[in-house]
Structure 1
Amino acid sequence: MNKRSSPQAGFTHRIAVPADEAEISALMDVAISELQKGFLSPEQIAVSRTIMGLDRRLIADGTYFLIHDIETGALAASGGWSRRATLYGGDHTASQRNDAQLRPGTDAARIRAMYTNPAFTRRGLGRMILSLCEEAARKEGFDRLEMGATLAGVPLYEACGYRLIEHTVGASVDGVDVPVLRMGKQIA
């Protein structure tokens, strides 16, 4: 099962496998519904579902981490990185997909699909996933990372050294826009 103990007491982490997809999707659903409140309107949260969600490519590439609570076994957080050009989006966002391979030392690897179960926020799990992703990308020769950040994620990413590159609109439906901030960080 490839479980590893975590530097974060009480949690383990491992790489996701296809059998985890239903559990990951459930985590994403509750995180989208709950953690964006206060950052997006209910209409924006509904529209954000058109661009957020499960990306099976990350699982197939072996670059998607899961963090489980040791005591309960619950999936507490997930997130990954990618050596592909897609900046954000799930399987269902075909317009955002770009499976082109990025070049270490030239291109920025991507931080992707960061989600935390609302019952496990403020415990350092987002930082833990970012650290795992940064180390894995560094080992493959990448010296920069970029992401398409939700407004709810920006405080964490800024605290971890990511800086704004540009403001974008990730989705727009019937006049309801969902902002996505392109952020980046040097890791070498």
Structure 2
Amino acid sequence: MSDLDQLTQSLARNLKRWRGERAFTLDALAARAGVSRGMIIQIEQARTNPSVGTTVKLADALGISITTLLDYEQGAQVRLVAPDQAVRMWSTSTGSSGRLLIGTEKPGPLELWGWRLMSGDSSESDAHAEGTVELIHVSAGELTLIVDGEAYTVPAGTSASFEAQVPHGYRNDGAEPVEMTMAVSVPALHQTLRGR
């Protein structure tokens, strides 16, 4: 089974499980996530591999991290994720990619990502749930961070943080690849529900 097939199967199994645990109907989850009922059915039947944006919307609507949505098996207090077990969530033909390195649900979902953006590549993101915060550290190259339409230059060795409940994106306008680590903190479900 390919990595993509495993990802599709895991997402299907976990989406059904978490939707059941939250007692969300298909229509309720569709409304909360802004994703069509038909798309959720296709995902739960492992007939499609949704975009990263759709996966983020579903995780946000369920009040869980993408890590949990992709891999429910978490038991020990210490969890090691080998490099070959990190989930590649997106990639381009030029070599850019985003890998979900690890995540946790306590006290609210927290994810750690490793990103590589090749020269001229970019990645756009819809607004996340209110209260979501992203922390970025650029270790190589120069990142152009766009938050709510405003561009910020983040050179190597520099870190940035921002509230991610607005549209945002990452762009490499330079000649060398951008290497960065990103942590995403998502509010716990009860906090998200209280704020709506």
State the TM-score bracket (shorter-chain normalisation). Answer: 0.3 to 0.5
- TM-score w.r.t. structure 1 length? 0.35
